[in-house]
Amino acid sequence: MKFFVDTAEIDAIAELNDLGMVDGVTTNPSLIMKSGRDIIEVTREISAMVDGPVSAEVVATKAEDMIAEGRKLAEIGENIAVKVPLTWDGLKTCKVLSGEGKMVNVTLCFSANQALLAAKAGATFISPFVGRLDDVNIDGMDLINDIRVIYDNYAYDTEILVASIRTVNHITDSARIGADVITAPPEVIKKLASHPLTDKGLEAFMKDWAKTGQKIL
């Protein structure tokens, strides 16, 4: 399963990238706002740092304008995936840009039928938002399961990119289901390394080691 980092914070991406944990990056207008950076400048920096796909989202709502914005964003680098919302205009944009050979990430997906439309429009990635479904008492992971079954039934090659991840369990469940990609905030990815028994075990080893009076270096 590929790990994308859901942030526009350069330092956080660099730390995980140096560890080989970054297969791509996703951004959205809210994350650009949080970074305080210019969208073109920060996307260019991320695109140069990371080998994999870097999603940059259009903000127009009419297909014609979305297509123009998408073409401009795609000029930033070969690894840019143009992110479009799952609206009728977004699907039209997806069809045109994917027809031009650009990667397209269709975002704000909340139903299996929306995911089906995105695949038919040639999306490279579909981004179902699990956390926001959980927020309204709908199990987000059920949607991932449904999309996996539907895409496999018809051998669609659109990749399932699980988004709006809030917990480490969302990542475990995504891997169990066989999602292609997860995108998560850096702090959630770092939490994957934590286990209380690891901390407890290490503390015991350190206490015993101190009793030996030895040094390795």
Give the chain as a 3 state SS string. CEEEEECCCHHHHHHHHHCCCCCEEECCHHHHHHHCCCHHHHHHHHHHHCCCCEEEECCCCCHHHHHHHHHHHHCCCCCEEEEEECCHHHHHHHHHHHHCCCEEEEEEECCHHHHHHHHHCCCCEEEEEHHHHHHCCCCHHHHHHHHHHHHHHHCCCCEEEEECCCCHHHHHHHHHHCCCEEEECHHHHHHCCCCHHHHHHHHHHHHHHHHHCCCCC
Of 70-78, 109-117, 158-166, 187-195, the window that binds ligand G3P (rule: CB under 6 A) is: 158-166
Does position 132 interact with ligand G3P (CB under 6 A)? The reply is yes
Does position 3 interact with ligand G3P (CB under 6 A)? The reply is no
Out of 81, 163, 171, 188, the only residue in the binding site for ligand G3P (CB under 6 A) is: 163
Q: Which of 34, 83, 102, 207 is catalytic?
A: 83
Out of 8, 25, 26, 128, the only residue in the binding site for ligand G3P (CB under 6 A) is: 26
Cα–Cα–Cα angle for 8, 14, 19, rounded to 5 degrees:
130
Q: How far is the CB of 4 from ligand G3P (least distance, A)?
A: 9
Residues 51-90 that bind ligand G3P (CB under 6 A): none
Out of 129, 159, 182, 189, the only residue in the binding site for ligand G3P (CB under 6 A) is: 129
Nearer to ligand G3P, 68 or 87 (CB): 87
Of 61-69, 161-169, 191-199, 206-214, the window that binds ligand G3P (rule: CB under 6 A) is: 161-169
Out of 39, 183, 188, 189, the only residue in the binding site for ligand G3P (CB under 6 A) is: 183
Nearer to ligand G3P, 6 or 159 (CB): 6
Is 83 one of the annotated active-site residues of the chain?
A: yes
Q: Give strand pairing partners of 3.
A: 182
Does position 28 interact with ligand G3P (CB under 6 A)? The reply is yes
Does position 131 interact with ligand G3P (CB under 6 A)? The reply is yes
Number of residues that make up the chain: 217
In angstroms, rounded to a whole number, what is the distance separating the alpha carbons of residues 58 and 136? Answer: 26
Tell me the catalytic residues.
83
Residues of this chain that interact with ligand G3P (CB under 6 A) are: 6, 26, 28, 129, 131-132, 163-164, 166, 183
